[in-house]
Amino acid sequence: MDLVTSGHGDTAAHPGGSPANVAVGLGRLGSPVSLLTQYGRDPYGEMLAGHFADSLVTVVGEATAGDLPTSTAIARTDTAGAATYEFALSWDPAPIPDELPAGMVCLHTGSIAVTLEPGATTVRRLLEQARGRCTVSYDPNCRPTLMGGPTRARTLIEHRAALADVVKVSNDDLGWLYPGRDITDVAREWLERGPALVVVTRGAAGSYGVCGSGDVHCPAPTVEVADTVGAGDAFTAGLLDALRRLDLLGVDNAPRLRRLGPGTLFELLGEASLVSALTCARPGADPPTAQEVESHRHNIRNASTDRARPSGAAQLAPSP
């Protein structure tokens, strides 16, 4: 649970957790999605279970195994809506199944799930099991207070990125992992390690993506920001949903993903950016539904049509 304290001192509890946010975002966008997770037998755990059910996320495994409490993150936002975090966590999931679920086309993970032991070892084995059998997606979503120094974290994160087909990382992550380095250079280096696609989010400055055929920069939509909690996770959900709709997920589509062109990459980043922007427009990690995204697109199209209409058109009237 994210316990979000605003710049005005008000605190509210919002369901959170990076992979969970991605799952919720995918469910609301219409992608069939399951979540392997863990939460306590307590009021926060009950809130999470209801949140997942309402967002059409199927929870798999023994989510409430043991007597551990639900993990919390105290998120403090500044006047611009940017968040910093303090954590109280436990992560010891049940053993993974011997076989991946039938029909699974993509496995996503990231952040604390792949760095906090003992659960991190379970997740690493799952990634290694999935590699080459479905699309693997990864978001480092770095939390320096939990990951130790950047040198140790860099080794682990580079290994996980090399196992992935799709990597989304923020410029803040790369700034901490590689101080002084140009983010585009790092993204290209990561691409050479194995992924088909590496995307760097840059907040209000938009996003940058690189694939085998080239790279693109995509601007971010302008919205009135409530806070940035879950913005990166919403971007990932939007990206994966757009890849699904273009039939670019799954082992059978891996060659097409490797042949991704800059034009399609720009389209993917635009879709993901819109989902992220709509999440920033309301408090907490509260990603939009497919209907809300389409409504916003409709409003944008109408506004564009109005701007394109000749200035004298409003003065036209039918003949007597």
Q: What is the CATH number of the domain that holds 131?
A: 3.40.1190.20
Of 159-163, 199-203, 222-226, 271-275, the range with the lowest mean pLDDT is 222-226
The DSSP 8-state label assigned to residue 288 in this structure reads P
Q: Which whole number is the average pLDDT over 54-78?
A: 85
Does residue 7 form part of some domain? yes
Does residue 129 form part of some domain? yes
Dist CA 158 CA 61 (whole Å): 28
Does residue 170 form part of some domain? yes
Domain of residue 62, residue span: 2-296
Q: What is the separation of C-alpha 34 from the centre of its chain, rounded to a whole number of angstroms? A: 15
Residue 42 Cα distances to 17, 70, 86, 91, 113, angstroms: 17, 7, 20, 16, 21
Model pLDDT for residues 144-183, shown as the tens digit of each residue: 888 888 998 999 999 999 999 999 999 999 999 999 999 9
pTM for the model stands at 0.88
Does residue 157 form part of some domain? yes
Does residue 313 form part of some domain? no
Model pLDDT for residues 124-142, shown as the tens digit of each residue: 999 999 999 999 999 999 9
Confidence label for 315 from pLDDT (cuts 50, 70 and 90): very low
Is the pLDDT score of 91 beyond 70?
yes
Q: Which whole number is the average pLDDT over 67-74?
A: 88
What is the count of structural domains for the chain?
Answer: 1
Q: Which whole number is the average pLDDT over 8-33?
A: 91
